[in-house]
Amino acid sequence: MAELVTMPKLGFDMAEGKLVRWVKAEGDTVAKGDVIAEIETDKATVEVESSLDGVMYRHLAAEEADLPVNAPIAVITLAGEEPTEDEVDALVEKAGGKPSKKAAKPETADKDEDSSAKEMKPEEPKEPGETPAGGVRSSPLARKMAEEHAIPLAAVSGSGPQGRVVKKDIEAYLSAKGEGQSAGETGGTLQSASSFSLGEVPEDEVVDLTRLRQAISRRMQDSNQNFPQFYLTRSYRTGAMMKLRKEVNALLPETDKLSVNDFVVKAVALALRQYPNLNASLLDEKHVVRHGHVNVGVAVAVEGGLLTVVSKDADQKPIRLIAREIREMVGRARAGKVRPEDIEGSTFSISNLGMYGIESFSAIINPPEAGILAVSAVQDVPMVVDGELTIGSQMKATISADHRVTDGAEAAEFMQVLAGYLEEPMRLML
């Protein structure tokens, strides 16, 4: 029977060898122990001996060939034997078969390793996500607590090293806000906001202008409908608002999806509740009426001009209702089917040119209102956070205010309070 000679393993870490030289040529007689070839490993050149007596029938590898361990290199036949080609092929195939089986073993071992490593892997904590604005430093525990209570980490100020938000900061945040909403409500999809009933609205209040105010007003008044206005501009960090909007919109139907302006409407309405003097109109030289309702007018461009649709009692309505109503009114306005109640009763207005990329502008007050807020585009700009330069989301807004009714300090405070609502938008939800 012909025997196959294979590339021997000559060292515990040998994977392949080079057949440097055939010592026995095809047809040579071979005795057991005779050197038949020289093999070079990366450690040494070694002589390979025959383990049989016979004849070197055929070389299966050429000199200088690099071959893996166990690869067939020669066929030795017993003296006088003449194997057929098929027999030789069968021998070689049989040898060829072995290496792949051997390779399979390590593969399955790897597979087992992988699967068991997966089993053993501890659960990775789900992060509530870091804000796009450069990431929030927080301890794993604080993150876990924030996730449980649906608190955006950006809304929490950190007392730990480098501003790290830690457990006590979350605890402080929670006790300040009052744990009004249970976690369940914020978790799943929002239920349909079907019924809403108006709460108590205070009566209009007529207030005497103070002597000082009367004097200022007389001095400030010009001819015709000119009245003294002043303008204050402030930047708002809108990262939190944009993030919240994205998250909430994922849960809302198309009819109720929130725009940036909806947030502004709600924020302005809540702020106006705290500054009734801006939610006001000059009645006459001596009186200002501070409106009971907070009806926020929103400027809408329509063909041929401008309309102001009014979101009535925006301070009381949930923001999604505001969004839905404004959407409906704007639709009617653009279709030329505006209803009278859509455009009457505004107590303060907002003009938003953000969708046009306007960075900053001042709007003209709609008499007899005391103020109007001009809202500009939300942009990613360089800003300084925690003493470090980073990229953040920002929006400018400019208030135009009637100087007969109010003055800079009050309007500035209003703008600051507005920041509280715009920059911590969760408050708009409460």
Partner 1 sequence: MEKKESLDLYKEMVIIRRLEERAAELYQQGKIGGFLHLYIGQEAVSVGISSVRQPQDRLITAYRDHGWAISAGIDANAVMAELLGKVDGPSKGRGGSMHMADTDLNFWGGHAIVGAHIPLAAGLALGDVYQGNDDAVTICMFGDGSTNIGYFHEGLNLSKVWDLPVLWVCENNQYGMGTAVDRASAVSEIRQKAEGYGMPNERIDGMDLMEVRKEVSRVLEKIRKEGGPYLLEVMTYRYRGHSMGDPERYRDKAEVKKWEEEDPIGIYRKYLIENKVATAKELDGLDEEALKVVDDAEKFAEASPNPDESTLFENIYVEPTPVEYRGYALEHESEGR
Partner 2 sequence: MTRMSMREAISRTLWEEMERDERVFIQGEEVGIWGGTYAVTKGFYDHFGEKRVRDTPISEAAIVGSAIGAAMTGLRPVAELMTINFAFSAMDHIVNEAAKLHYMFGGQFTLPLVIRAVSGGGRQLAATHSQSPDAIFAHFPGLKVVSPGTPADAMGLLRSAIRSDDPVLFIENATLYQMKGEVPEDEDYLEPLGKSKIQREGDDVTIVAYSKMVPAALKAADMLAEDGINAEVIDLRSLRPLDMDPIIASFKRTNRAVIAEEGWRSYGVGSEVSARIYELAFDYADAPVKRVAQAEVPLPYNAELEQLALPQMEDIYHAAKEVVNG
Binding site for partner 2 (CB under 8 A): 122, 125, 139-144, 159-161, 164, 166-168
State the minimum distance, in angstroms, from the CB of residue 246 to partner 2: 26
State the minimum distance, in angstroms, from the CB of residue 142 to partner 2: 7
Out of partner 1, partner 2, none, which partner does residue 164 contact, by CB within 5 to 8 A per kind?
Answer: partner 2
Q: Which is nearer to partner 1, 39 or 300 (CB)?
A: 39
Q: Segment near partner 1 (CB under 8 A), from 45-53, 172-180, 288-296, 301-309?
A: 45-53
Q: Could you tell me which residues are beta bridge partners of residue 373?
A: 350, 399
Q: Which is nearer to partner 2, 147 or 423 (CB)?
A: 147
Q: Which is nearer to partner 2, 9 or 144 (CB)?
A: 144
Q: Does 382 bind partner 1 (CB under 8 A)?
A: no
Site size with partner 1, rule: CB under 8 A: 20
State the minimum distance, in angstroms, from the CB of residue 158 to partner 2: 9
State the minimum distance, in angstroms, from the CB of residue 149 to partner 2: 15
State the minimum distance, in angstroms, from the CB of residue 205 to partner 2: 49
Residue 293 annotated to the active site: no
Out of partner 2, partner 1, none, which partner does residue 11 contact, by CB within 5 to 8 A per kind?
Answer: partner 1
When binding is defined by CB under 8 A, the residue of 4, 11, 92, 419 that contacts partner 1 is 11
Q: Which is nearer to partner 2, 144 or 149 (CB)?
A: 144
Q: What is the 3-state secondary structure (H, E, C) of the chain?
A: CCEEEECCCCCCCCCEEEEEEECCCCCCEECCCCEEEEEECCCCEEEEECCCCEEEEEECCCCCEEEECCCEEEEEECCCCCCCHHHHHHHHHHHHHHHHHHHHHHHHHHHHHHHHHHHHCCCCCCCCCCCCCCCCCECHHHHHHHHHCCCCHHHCCCCCHHHCECHHHHHHHHHHHCCCCCHHHHHCCCCCCCCCCCCCCCCCEEEECCHHHHHHHHHHCCCCCCCCEEEEEEEEECHHHHHHHHHHHCCCCHHHCCCHHHHHHHHHHHHHHHCCCCCEEEEECCEEEECCCCCEEEEEEECCEEEEEEECCCCCCCHHHHHHHHHHHHHHHHCCCCCHHHHCCCCEEEEECHHHCCCCCCCCCCCCECEEEEEEEEEEEEEEECCEEEEEEEEEEEEEEECCCCCHHHHHHHHHHHHHHHHCHHHHHC
Q: Which is nearer to partner 2, 42 or 148 (CB)?
A: 148
317 within 8 A of 240, measured Cβ to Cβ: no
State the minimum distance, in angstroms, from the CB of residue 6 to partner 1: 7
Out of partner 2, partner 1, none, which partner does residue 134 contact, by CB within 5 to 8 A per kind?
Answer: none
Out of partner 1, partner 2, none, which partner does residue 51 contact, by CB within 5 to 8 A per kind?
Answer: partner 1
376 within 8 A of 393, measured Cβ to Cβ: no
Out of partner 1, partner 2, none, which partner does residue 276 contact, by CB within 5 to 8 A per kind?
Answer: none
* Residue list 107-166, contact with partner 1 (CB under 8 A): 112, 117, 120, 122
Q: Which is nearer to partner 1, 47 or 204 (CB)?
A: 47
Out of partner 2, partner 1, none, which partner does residue 198 contact, by CB within 5 to 8 A per kind?
Answer: none
Active site residues: 403
Residues in touch with partner 1 (CB under 8 A):
6, 8-12, 14, 41, 43-46, 51, 69-70, 102, 112, 117, 120, 122
